[in-house]
Structure 1
Amino acid sequence: MSEFASKYETLLLRRERSRLYVTLNRPEVKNALNPTLIGELRAVFGILRDRRDIKVVILRGAGGTFCAGADLKNMEQSITERRPGERDPIALNNREYGTFLEMVNTTPQVVVAAVEGYAIAGGFGLLCVSDVAICTEDAGFAMSETAIGIVPAQIAPFVAARIGVPQTRHLALTAARFKGPEAQRLGIAHHLVKDSAALDAKLEEILKQIDRCAPLANALTKAVVMKVGSEPLSSVLDFAADRFAEARRSPEAAEGLRAFAEKRQPKWVTE
């Protein structure tokens, strides 16, 4: 079983039973994304894909800010020569963030984003691949890329999957800035809370709800839902039937049915 590093340069990791708290830790730049941070996040989620002992991942930012997007100082220095006949290295570098977002989007664990401060640009995209999002009322959001002359290339597909193409067009083509209530109205945030203290309380409430759900059943359910809209319905239903059979034959289902009959909690609730 792959293990996490004992220490990361730009992340703080804390394990609590089947929960993994992953905190972006560049507070001096509002947790802006740089190659090191993205690389460390990719490494963590690469390990998570095969970790069945972790049921939920909580994403948060240190210093009261979720993530203010890409580190623009790093971006200014990232122009490299384009060689004839080869794909632009800028495109290759940009695509790496999309690969990371795909990893988060499809990880078997439940991903909970706890957002305060700002979720801008790449940070906004990271928020939009969470399964559950809790945001404070005063948190700020934007797809701000077009306002500085670049394209929200890798986040736009995930934002569109979250809130639909028409709303994504509006946000991306105006670089509109908005707060928590609008994020909830658009379907970006599932839960809206007053402040950081309320965020902590709501987070614990949500985590207790997730504790009630079986890890394998959640992972298989997520896999089914992720296929909706990308494949013909009949194919999705075939895939779903196979996942149902996989779950039904698992020790989890045996334990869940036995616990129901015995009027007790399944073992995974307190693991």
Structure 2
Amino acid sequence: MSGGILEGDRNMGLIRAQLRRQRVLAGMNQDEFGKRTNYSASTVSAVETGTRAMDTPFAARADEVLETGGLFVSLLELARRDGQPRWFRPWLDAERAADQLRCYQPTLVPGLLQTEAYARAVIRCDDKLTDAQVEQRLAARMDRQSILNKDEPPQFVVVLDEIVIRRVDEAFHQALADQVHRLIELAERPNISIHIVPADIAIHVSLTGPFILAKTADGGWVGNLENQLGGIVVDKDDALATLLSRWETVRNEALSRRQSTELMKEVVKSWT
């Protein structure tokens, strides 16, 4: 992953330099630019120096004020893609093009459904990342979620083990409570279905690890497997057939959509 981080850092540095250049060419100091974009001068300074990650709303406002025709939004999207590990980039392309997504996670809320606080806590578990790299990865993860808000979003079916919504300690309590509330809200969308495998199902075939499947408009499937060293993009027919079979098995072990929502509500209620 270090190669992706270095490449992403370099590209983000070029974007920050271009932002400063365009701002100066427009005859604006940081204070004036901040007023025009509805950000404080300190925020503008933090973005330009890299102590705060540039996000899509900031890039969009910069494009409007500097009249750059979407330049910064486009550069930011490219930088985020290049900042991802090389093995992950084909999956990102498949994810964006998918009309169906099927995800099983035995340990964590999937990245596409994570709140900012939950995602930051998960990313910070990697103690090799600097604060700036954490924020860069966080921004990229939040940006990925935009596929669920498209005019024609993919159908996203998620299966989680019950432990995912119960793994909590005192320091993580509020972040998980907010995360489960978010899952309940998302489950109300017609294109998102969340199912819980109850804790009394002690053993099932998919406990060996998480996976996600994407179905594209042409009817083909692509899979992604996560592991401690990164992940594997799966596109071979026999491997995909195995994952699709595993999906059917674990989906059948899970509660219905309504039952899963009720269980999530009970979990949150038990904490209050």
TM-score of the aligned structures, taking structure 2 as reference length: 0.27
State the structure with bigger RCO (CA 8 A, min sep 6), 1 or 2.
Answer: 2
Name whichever structure is richer in helix by fraction.
2
